[in-house]
Homo-oligomer: A and B are copies of this chain.
Amino acid sequence: MLGLFFGLVRYTEMSDNAMDQVQRYYKYFIDVQIMIFVGFGFLMTFMRRYSLGAVSLNYLASALMMLEAVLVIGATQQGFWNQKSSKIQIDIALLIDCSFCAGSGMIAFGAIIGKATPTQLLWLLVWQVPLYALNQHLVIHTFKALDMGGTIVIHLFGAYYGLAASLMLSWRQPLHGLDHPKNASSYLNDVFSMVGTLFLWIYWPSFNGALASVAPESLATATDAQKMSQFLCIVNTLLSLLGAVLSTFATSALVTGRLSMVHVQNSTLAGGVAMGAACTLRLTPGGALCVGLFAGCVSTLGFSYLTPFLDRTIGLGDTCGVHNLHGIPAIIGTLVAGLASLGQHSDYLMYGTGREQLGWEVLAGGVTLGIAVSGGLLGAWVVTALNLTRSEPMDVSELFDDGPWWEGQRVEPL
Protein backbone atom coordinates (compact mmCIF):
# COMPACT_ATOMS: atom_id res chain seq x y z
CA MET A 1 0.00 0.00 0.00
CA LEU A 2 2.88 2.31 0.83
CA GLY A 3 4.24 1.71 -2.65
CA LEU A 4 0.93 2.57 -4.24
CA PHE A 5 0.81 5.77 -2.20
CA PHE A 6 4.25 6.79 -3.37
CA GLY A 7 3.45 5.89 -6.93
CA LEU A 8 -0.07 7.18 -7.29
CA VAL A 9 -1.07 9.85 -4.80
CA ARG A 10 -0.24 13.52 -5.14
CA TYR A 11 -1.42 16.68 -3.39
CA THR A 12 -3.98 18.61 -5.36
CA GLU A 13 -2.24 21.67 -6.76
CA MET A 14 -4.30 24.72 -5.98
CA SER A 15 -2.02 27.47 -4.81
CA ASP A 16 -4.67 30.12 -5.27
CA ASN A 17 -7.50 28.49 -3.46
CA ALA A 18 -5.93 26.12 -0.98
CA MET A 19 -7.12 28.46 1.78
CA ASP A 20 -10.61 28.48 0.30
CA GLN A 21 -10.71 24.72 0.29
CA VAL A 22 -9.65 24.49 3.92
CA GLN A 23 -12.28 27.10 4.80
CA ARG A 24 -14.93 25.29 2.83
CA TYR A 25 -14.38 21.65 3.81
CA TYR A 26 -12.15 21.32 6.85
CA LYS A 27 -14.78 21.92 9.55
CA TYR A 28 -17.05 19.33 7.93
CA PHE A 29 -14.23 16.86 7.54
CA ILE A 30 -13.43 17.03 11.25
CA ASP A 31 -17.12 16.77 12.17
CA VAL A 32 -17.43 13.61 10.08
CA GLN A 33 -14.25 12.21 11.61
CA ILE A 34 -15.73 12.69 15.08
CA MET A 35 -18.80 10.76 13.98
CA ILE A 36 -16.75 7.88 12.57
CA PHE A 37 -14.12 7.52 15.28
CA VAL A 38 -15.88 8.76 18.42
CA GLY A 39 -19.51 8.31 17.36
CA PHE A 40 -19.49 4.80 15.96
CA GLY A 41 -16.68 3.71 18.29
CA PHE A 42 -18.48 4.68 21.46
CA LEU A 43 -21.95 3.75 20.25
CA MET A 44 -20.73 0.15 20.29
CA THR A 45 -19.21 0.33 23.78
CA PHE A 46 -22.60 -0.65 25.17
CA MET A 47 -21.30 -4.21 25.11
CA ARG A 48 -20.07 -4.96 28.59
CA ARG A 49 -17.47 -7.48 27.47
CA TYR A 50 -16.52 -5.93 24.14
CA SER A 51 -16.09 -2.22 24.89
CA LEU A 52 -12.36 -2.19 24.27
CA GLY A 53 -12.79 -4.24 21.13
CA ALA A 54 -15.53 -1.94 19.91
CA VAL A 55 -13.69 1.34 20.25
CA SER A 56 -10.26 -0.01 19.27
CA LEU A 57 -11.20 -2.12 16.29
CA ASN A 58 -13.42 0.74 15.13
CA TYR A 59 -10.28 2.90 15.28
CA LEU A 60 -8.02 0.49 13.42
CA ALA A 61 -10.55 -0.51 10.80
CA SER A 62 -11.59 3.08 10.06
CA ALA A 63 -7.99 4.15 9.60
CA LEU A 64 -7.29 1.20 7.33
CA MET A 65 -10.40 1.81 5.25
CA MET A 66 -9.64 5.50 4.89
CA LEU A 67 -6.19 4.83 3.50
CA GLU A 68 -7.47 2.14 1.19
CA ALA A 69 -10.27 4.46 0.10
CA VAL A 70 -7.81 7.22 -0.86
CA LEU A 71 -6.47 4.80 -3.43
CA VAL A 72 -9.66 3.06 -4.50
CA ILE A 73 -12.17 5.89 -4.39
CA GLY A 74 -9.56 8.35 -5.60
CA ALA A 75 -8.88 6.14 -8.59
CA THR A 76 -12.57 5.51 -9.28
CA GLN A 77 -13.65 9.13 -9.04
CA GLN A 78 -10.73 10.61 -10.86
CA GLY A 79 -10.70 7.76 -13.33
CA PHE A 80 -7.04 7.77 -14.14
CA TRP A 81 -7.51 4.81 -16.41
CA ASN A 82 -9.47 7.25 -18.56
CA GLN A 83 -6.39 9.39 -18.92
CA LYS A 84 -8.01 12.26 -17.01
CA SER A 85 -4.99 12.20 -14.76
CA SER A 86 -2.31 9.64 -14.14
CA LYS A 87 -2.20 10.37 -10.42
CA ILE A 88 -4.73 10.58 -7.61
CA GLN A 89 -5.12 14.16 -6.44
CA ILE A 90 -5.68 14.18 -2.70
CA ASP A 91 -7.71 17.01 -1.23
CA ILE A 92 -10.06 17.52 1.69
CA ALA A 93 -13.21 16.73 -0.28
CA LEU A 94 -11.72 13.35 -1.21
CA LEU A 95 -10.81 12.79 2.43
CA ILE A 96 -14.44 13.41 3.43
CA ASP A 97 -15.45 10.74 0.93
CA CYS A 98 -12.90 8.36 2.44
CA SER A 99 -14.26 9.08 5.89
CA PHE A 100 -17.76 8.32 4.58
CA CYS A 101 -16.47 5.02 3.23
CA ALA A 102 -15.06 4.18 6.66
CA GLY A 103 -18.44 5.08 8.11
CA SER A 104 -20.07 2.58 5.82
CA GLY A 105 -17.61 0.02 7.09
CA MET A 106 -18.34 0.83 10.73
CA ILE A 107 -22.04 0.29 10.06
CA ALA A 108 -21.24 -3.15 8.72
CA PHE A 109 -18.99 -3.71 11.74
CA GLY A 110 -22.01 -3.09 13.97
CA ALA A 111 -23.75 -6.14 12.53
CA ILE A 112 -20.84 -8.53 13.05
CA ILE A 113 -19.10 -7.15 16.13
CA GLY A 114 -18.29 -9.86 18.61
CA LYS A 115 -18.72 -12.64 16.11
CA ALA A 116 -15.61 -12.41 13.97
CA THR A 117 -11.94 -12.44 14.87
CA PRO A 118 -10.11 -9.16 14.27
CA THR A 119 -8.42 -10.76 11.26
CA GLN A 120 -11.72 -11.82 9.73
CA LEU A 121 -13.16 -8.41 10.43
CA LEU A 122 -10.33 -6.57 8.73
CA TRP A 123 -10.52 -8.72 5.61
CA LEU A 124 -14.26 -8.22 5.39
CA LEU A 125 -13.82 -4.45 5.63
CA VAL A 126 -10.92 -4.32 3.20
CA TRP A 127 -13.11 -6.17 0.72
CA GLN A 128 -15.93 -3.70 1.34
CA VAL A 129 -13.99 -0.69 0.00
CA PRO A 130 -13.85 -1.59 -3.71
CA LEU A 131 -17.52 -2.59 -3.59
CA TYR A 132 -18.30 0.74 -1.95
CA ALA A 133 -16.41 2.60 -4.65
CA LEU A 134 -18.13 0.65 -7.41
CA ASN A 135 -21.56 1.17 -5.91
CA GLN A 136 -20.94 4.86 -5.26
CA HIS A 137 -19.86 5.25 -8.87
CA LEU A 138 -23.05 3.58 -10.10
CA VAL A 139 -25.43 5.42 -7.77
CA ILE A 140 -23.98 8.89 -8.05
CA HIS A 141 -22.40 9.06 -11.48
CA THR A 142 -24.28 6.52 -13.55
CA PHE A 143 -27.79 6.67 -12.08
CA LYS A 144 -27.49 10.26 -10.84
CA ALA A 145 -29.53 9.46 -7.76
CA LEU A 146 -30.03 12.14 -5.13
CA ASP A 147 -27.90 11.10 -2.19
CA MET A 148 -26.04 14.04 -0.66
CA GLY A 149 -25.98 12.51 2.82
CA GLY A 150 -25.24 8.98 1.74
CA THR A 151 -28.49 7.27 2.69
CA ILE A 152 -28.07 4.87 -0.18
CA VAL A 153 -24.32 4.80 -0.68
CA ILE A 154 -23.29 4.71 2.97
CA HIS A 155 -26.15 3.46 5.13
CA LEU A 156 -28.11 1.14 2.87
CA PHE A 157 -24.93 -0.34 1.46
CA GLY A 158 -23.11 -0.65 4.79
CA ALA A 159 -26.04 -2.11 6.68
CA TYR A 160 -26.89 -4.86 4.21
CA TYR A 161 -23.27 -5.69 3.53
CA GLY A 162 -22.82 -6.22 7.26
CA LEU A 163 -26.08 -8.11 7.70
CA ALA A 164 -25.30 -10.46 4.84
CA ALA A 165 -21.84 -11.09 6.25
CA SER A 166 -23.31 -11.63 9.71
CA LEU A 167 -25.76 -14.21 8.37
CA MET A 168 -22.97 -16.14 6.71
CA LEU A 169 -20.62 -15.86 9.73
CA SER A 170 -23.26 -17.27 12.08
CA TRP A 171 -24.20 -20.12 9.80
CA ARG A 172 -23.19 -22.98 12.07
CA GLN A 173 -22.37 -20.96 15.14
CA PRO A 174 -24.61 -21.62 18.16
CA LEU A 175 -25.70 -18.78 20.44
CA HIS A 176 -24.60 -16.04 18.01
CA GLY A 177 -27.62 -13.87 18.71
CA LEU A 178 -29.74 -12.24 21.35
CA ASP A 179 -29.63 -15.27 23.69
CA HIS A 180 -25.90 -15.10 24.28
CA PRO A 181 -25.35 -13.98 27.89
CA LYS A 182 -22.48 -11.67 26.94
CA ASN A 183 -24.50 -9.90 24.23
CA ALA A 184 -25.59 -7.47 26.91
CA SER A 185 -24.91 -4.11 28.41
CA SER A 186 -24.34 -2.73 31.89
CA TYR A 187 -25.31 0.54 33.55
CA LEU A 188 -22.03 2.35 32.94
CA ASN A 189 -21.61 0.82 29.49
CA ASP A 190 -24.94 2.34 28.56
CA VAL A 191 -23.63 5.75 29.63
CA PHE A 192 -20.52 5.27 27.50
CA SER A 193 -22.67 4.38 24.55
CA MET A 194 -24.50 7.68 24.90
CA VAL A 195 -21.21 9.48 24.17
CA GLY A 196 -21.38 7.87 20.77
CA THR A 197 -25.08 8.53 20.25
CA LEU A 198 -24.88 12.21 21.15
CA PHE A 199 -21.86 13.01 19.03
CA LEU A 200 -23.44 11.22 16.09
CA TRP A 201 -26.72 13.04 16.63
CA ILE A 202 -25.21 16.50 17.03
CA TYR A 203 -22.87 16.31 14.05
CA TRP A 204 -25.31 14.58 11.69
CA PRO A 205 -26.25 17.81 9.89
CA SER A 206 -22.55 18.21 9.07
CA PHE A 207 -22.49 14.65 7.75
CA ASN A 208 -25.42 15.18 5.40
CA GLY A 209 -24.27 18.63 4.30
CA ALA A 210 -20.50 18.10 4.22
CA LEU A 211 -20.18 18.20 0.46
CA ALA A 212 -23.14 20.49 -0.29
CA SER A 213 -21.37 23.83 -0.33
CA VAL A 214 -20.75 25.92 -3.43
CA ALA A 215 -17.21 26.88 -4.38
CA PRO A 216 -16.64 30.63 -3.98
CA GLU A 217 -15.60 30.93 -7.62
CA SER A 218 -18.86 29.34 -8.84
CA LEU A 219 -21.12 31.41 -6.63
CA ALA A 220 -21.91 33.89 -9.37
CA THR A 221 -23.28 31.23 -11.71
CA ALA A 222 -24.86 28.92 -9.15
CA THR A 223 -28.62 28.35 -9.14
CA ASP A 224 -30.73 29.18 -6.12
CA ALA A 225 -31.04 25.45 -5.50
CA GLN A 226 -27.28 25.09 -5.28
CA LYS A 227 -26.86 28.12 -3.07
CA MET A 228 -29.56 26.89 -0.68
CA SER A 229 -28.28 23.31 -0.72
CA GLN A 230 -26.10 23.21 2.39
CA PHE A 231 -28.60 25.31 4.35
CA LEU A 232 -31.38 22.89 3.45
CA CYS A 233 -29.24 19.90 4.39
CA ILE A 234 -28.62 21.35 7.83
CA VAL A 235 -32.18 22.43 8.62
CA ASN A 236 -33.87 19.34 7.17
CA THR A 237 -31.50 16.98 8.93
CA LEU A 238 -31.83 18.75 12.25
CA LEU A 239 -35.62 18.74 12.15
CA SER A 240 -35.69 15.10 11.16
CA LEU A 241 -33.35 14.21 14.03
CA LEU A 242 -35.45 16.16 16.51
CA GLY A 243 -38.54 14.33 15.29
CA ALA A 244 -36.83 10.97 15.63
CA VAL A 245 -35.94 11.68 19.26
CA LEU A 246 -39.56 12.40 20.12
CA SER A 247 -41.02 9.44 18.30
CA THR A 248 -38.39 7.05 19.63
CA PHE A 249 -39.12 7.90 23.25
CA ALA A 250 -42.87 7.82 22.62
CA THR A 251 -42.76 4.48 20.81
CA SER A 252 -40.38 2.99 23.35
CA ALA A 253 -42.72 3.96 26.19
CA LEU A 254 -45.70 2.49 24.37
CA VAL A 255 -43.99 -0.74 23.45
CA THR A 256 -41.99 -1.52 26.59
CA GLY A 257 -44.10 0.27 29.19
CA ARG A 258 -40.90 1.95 30.36
CA LEU A 259 -37.98 3.29 28.31
CA SER A 260 -35.26 1.25 26.67
CA MET A 261 -31.67 2.45 26.36
CA VAL A 262 -31.25 0.40 23.19
CA HIS A 263 -33.94 2.51 21.56
CA VAL A 264 -32.55 5.78 22.89
CA GLN A 265 -29.04 4.95 21.77
CA ASN A 266 -30.01 3.92 18.28
CA SER A 267 -33.45 4.84 16.99
CA THR A 268 -33.06 8.53 17.77
CA LEU A 269 -30.45 8.56 15.01
CA ALA A 270 -32.75 7.07 12.39
CA GLY A 271 -33.90 10.58 11.52
CA GLY A 272 -30.47 11.40 10.18
CA VAL A 273 -30.29 8.27 8.07
CA ALA A 274 -33.75 8.77 6.62
CA MET A 275 -32.96 12.34 5.62
CA GLY A 276 -29.62 11.69 3.94
CA ALA A 277 -30.92 11.32 0.40
CA ALA A 278 -33.64 13.97 0.49
CA CYS A 279 -31.88 16.64 2.51
CA THR A 280 -31.14 18.92 -0.42
CA LEU A 281 -34.83 19.10 -1.36
CA ARG A 282 -37.46 21.60 -0.27
CA LEU A 283 -39.44 19.25 1.95
CA THR A 284 -40.81 22.13 4.07
CA PRO A 285 -39.87 22.07 7.77
CA GLY A 286 -43.04 20.16 8.58
CA GLY A 287 -42.15 17.53 6.02
CA ALA A 288 -38.66 17.11 7.41
CA LEU A 289 -40.03 16.72 10.93
CA CYS A 290 -42.50 14.16 9.67
CA VAL A 291 -39.77 12.03 8.09
CA GLY A 292 -37.92 11.93 11.40
CA LEU A 293 -41.01 11.09 13.42
CA PHE A 294 -41.76 8.21 11.09
CA ALA A 295 -38.19 6.90 10.96
CA GLY A 296 -37.75 6.95 14.73
CA CYS A 297 -41.00 5.11 15.24
CA VAL A 298 -40.28 2.42 12.65
CA SER A 299 -36.75 1.96 13.94
CA THR A 300 -37.98 1.47 17.51
CA LEU A 301 -40.56 -1.04 16.38
CA GLY A 302 -37.83 -2.81 14.47
CA PHE A 303 -35.77 -3.26 17.63
CA SER A 304 -38.78 -4.53 19.54
CA TYR A 305 -40.25 -6.88 16.98
CA LEU A 306 -38.24 -7.35 13.79
CA THR A 307 -34.79 -8.10 15.24
CA PRO A 308 -36.00 -10.84 17.62
CA PHE A 309 -38.11 -12.27 14.79
CA LEU A 310 -35.22 -12.45 12.32
CA ASP A 311 -32.94 -13.76 15.06
CA ARG A 312 -35.38 -16.57 15.77
CA THR A 313 -36.37 -17.45 12.24
CA ILE A 314 -33.37 -17.08 9.95
CA GLY A 315 -30.67 -16.74 12.61
CA LEU A 316 -29.76 -13.22 11.56
CA GLY A 317 -27.63 -11.97 14.42
CA ASP A 318 -27.40 -8.18 14.40
CA THR A 319 -25.35 -7.20 17.43
CA CYS A 320 -25.93 -3.44 17.31
CA GLY A 321 -29.23 -3.55 15.49
CA VAL A 322 -27.89 -1.88 12.37
CA HIS A 323 -30.89 -3.20 10.49
CA ASN A 324 -33.10 -0.88 12.52
CA LEU A 325 -30.73 2.06 12.76
CA HIS A 326 -29.35 2.05 9.22
CA GLY A 327 -31.04 -0.58 7.06
CA ILE A 328 -34.74 0.19 7.30
CA PRO A 329 -34.33 3.95 7.76
CA ALA A 330 -32.18 3.97 4.62
CA ILE A 331 -34.94 2.25 2.67
CA ILE A 332 -37.34 4.85 4.01
CA GLY A 333 -34.88 7.59 3.11
CA THR A 334 -34.46 6.34 -0.44
CA LEU A 335 -38.21 6.37 -0.95
CA VAL A 336 -38.55 9.78 0.71
CA ALA A 337 -36.05 11.26 -1.71
CA GLY A 338 -37.78 9.65 -4.65
CA LEU A 339 -41.31 10.59 -3.64
CA ALA A 340 -40.37 14.11 -2.55
CA SER A 341 -38.80 14.64 -5.96
CA LEU A 342 -42.26 14.53 -7.48
CA GLY A 343 -43.06 17.95 -6.08
CA GLN A 344 -39.73 19.67 -6.63
CA HIS A 345 -38.57 22.25 -9.12
CA SER A 346 -36.18 20.61 -11.56
CA ASP A 347 -33.29 22.78 -10.30
CA TYR A 348 -33.26 20.62 -7.22
CA LEU A 349 -33.17 17.37 -9.20
CA MET A 350 -30.68 15.60 -11.42
CA TYR A 351 -33.40 14.89 -13.98
CA GLY A 352 -36.04 17.02 -15.64
CA THR A 353 -39.00 15.48 -13.84
CA GLY A 354 -39.60 14.06 -10.38
CA ARG A 355 -40.98 10.89 -11.89
CA GLU A 356 -37.70 10.13 -13.62
CA GLN A 357 -35.81 10.94 -10.44
CA LEU A 358 -38.03 8.59 -8.47
CA GLY A 359 -37.33 5.77 -10.89
CA TRP A 360 -33.58 6.19 -10.74
CA GLU A 361 -33.72 6.53 -6.98
CA VAL A 362 -35.48 3.18 -6.65
CA LEU A 363 -33.10 1.59 -9.11
CA ALA A 364 -30.12 2.94 -7.16
CA GLY A 365 -31.54 1.48 -3.97
CA GLY A 366 -32.14 -1.89 -5.60
CA VAL A 367 -28.70 -2.13 -7.16
CA THR A 368 -27.12 -1.10 -3.86
CA LEU A 369 -29.02 -3.82 -2.05
CA GLY A 370 -27.90 -6.37 -4.61
CA ILE A 371 -24.24 -5.44 -4.47
CA ALA A 372 -24.26 -5.19 -0.68
CA VAL A 373 -25.95 -8.53 -0.03
CA SER A 374 -23.98 -10.51 -2.58
CA GLY A 375 -20.72 -8.82 -1.61
CA GLY A 376 -21.32 -9.45 2.08
CA LEU A 377 -22.22 -13.10 1.57
CA LEU A 378 -19.23 -13.66 -0.66
CA GLY A 379 -16.81 -11.91 1.69
CA ALA A 380 -18.00 -13.81 4.73
CA TRP A 381 -17.94 -17.08 2.81
CA VAL A 382 -14.31 -16.48 1.94
CA VAL A 383 -13.31 -15.84 5.56
CA THR A 384 -15.35 -18.71 7.02
CA ALA A 385 -15.98 -21.60 4.66
CA LEU A 386 -12.83 -21.07 2.61
CA ASN A 387 -11.11 -19.64 5.70
CA LEU A 388 -8.50 -17.85 3.62
CA THR A 389 -7.59 -15.82 6.71
CA ARG A 390 -6.65 -19.04 8.55
CA SER A 391 -8.63 -17.97 11.63
CA GLU A 392 -9.35 -20.55 14.27
CA PRO A 393 -13.06 -21.06 14.83
CA MET A 394 -14.33 -19.05 17.78
CA ASP A 395 -15.57 -20.87 20.84
CA VAL A 396 -19.05 -19.94 22.03
CA SER A 397 -17.53 -18.41 25.15
CA GLU A 398 -15.40 -16.12 22.98
CA LEU A 399 -18.36 -14.57 21.22
CA PHE A 400 -19.05 -11.00 22.35
CA ASP A 401 -15.95 -11.08 24.53
CA ASP A 402 -12.77 -9.25 23.63
CA GLY A 403 -10.81 -11.17 26.25
CA PRO A 404 -8.90 -13.28 23.70
CA TRP A 405 -7.49 -10.25 21.91
CA TRP A 406 -6.43 -7.82 24.61
CA GLU A 407 -3.37 -8.16 26.71
CA GLY A 408 -4.25 -8.37 30.39
CA GLN A 409 -7.86 -9.41 29.70
CA ARG A 410 -9.31 -12.87 29.98
CA VAL A 411 -12.30 -14.62 28.49
CA GLU A 412 -15.07 -14.62 31.07
CA PRO A 413 -16.54 -18.14 31.54
CA LEU A 414 -20.07 -18.45 30.22
Nearest CB of chain B from residue A53's CB, rounded to whole Å: 9
Counting every copy of the chain, the complex holds: 3
Q: Which residues of B contact A19 (CB under 8 A)?
A: 213-214, 219, 227, 230-231
- Inter-chain contact A259/B406, CB cutoff 8 Å: yes
Question: Which of A37-45, A128-136, A348-356, A377-385 contacts its partner?
Answer: A37-45
- Inter-chain contact B198/A67, CB cutoff 8 Å: no
Question: Which of A282-290, A322-330, A362-370 contacts its partner?
Answer: A282-290
Nearest CB of chain B from residue A235's CB, rounded to whole Å: 6
Nearest CB of chain B from residue A272's CB, rounded to whole Å: 13
Bound complex: CA A37 to CA B52 (Å): 23
Interface: A75 (CB within 8 A): no
Nearest CB of chain B from residue A37's CB, rounded to whole Å: 5
Nearest CB of chain B from residue A325's CB, rounded to whole Å: 16
Bound complex: CA A118 to CA B194 (Å): 19
Interface: A143 (CB within 8 A): no
- Inter-chain contact A190/B404, CB cutoff 8 Å: no
Given A90-B235, A202-B30, A289:B5 Cβ within 8 A:
yes
> Per a CB cutoff under 8 Å, which of B64, B66, B246 touches A60?
B246
Bound complex: CA A250 to CA B290 (Å): 47
Interface: A217 (CB within 8 A): no
Nearest CB of chain B from residue A109's CB, rounded to whole Å: 15
Q: Per-residue 0/1 for A16-58: is the Cβ within 8 Å of any B Cβ (1 yes, 0 no)?
A: 1011011000110011011001100110010000011001100
Given A227-B15, A231-B21, A289-B5, A284:B66 Cβ within 8 A:
no
- Inter-chain contact B64/A231, CB cutoff 8 Å: no
- Inter-chain contact B245/A59, CB cutoff 8 Å: yes
A47-104 residues with Cβ-Cβ distance < 8 A to B are 51-52, 55-56, 59-60, 63-64, 66-67, 70, 90-92, 95
- Inter-chain contact A18/B228, CB cutoff 8 Å: yes
Q: Which residues of B contact A33 (CB under 8 A)?
A: 202
Interface: A192 (CB within 8 A): yes
Nearest CB of chain B from residue A293's CB, rounded to whole Å: 7
Given A15-B228, A242-B63, A260-B407, A198:B268 Cβ within 8 A:
no
Using CB atoms, name the residue of chain B closest to A64.
B246
A interface residues (Cβ-Cβ under 8 A, vs B): 2, 5-7, 9-11, 14-16, 18-19, 21-22, 26-27, 30-31, 33-34, 37-38, 41-42, 45, 51-52, 55-56, 59-60, 63-64, 66-67, 70, 90-92, 95, 118, 185, 187-188, 190-192, 194-195, 197-199, 201-203, 205-206, 209, 213-214, 219, 224, 227-228, 230-232, 234-235, 238-239, 241-243, 245-246, 249, 256, 258-261, 264, 268, 282, 284-287, 289-290, 293, 404-409
* Pairs across A and B, CB under 8 Å, 30 listed: A2-B293, A5-B286, A11-B232, A15-B224, A19-B213, A19-B219, A19-B227, A19-B231, A22-B209, A22-B234, A27-B27, A30-B206, A33-B202, A37-B202, A38-B199, A41-B194, A41-B198, A51-B191, A55-B191, A56-B259, A56-B261, A59-B264, A60-B264, A63-B245, A64-B246, A67-B242, A92-B231, A187-B409, A259-B407, A261-B406
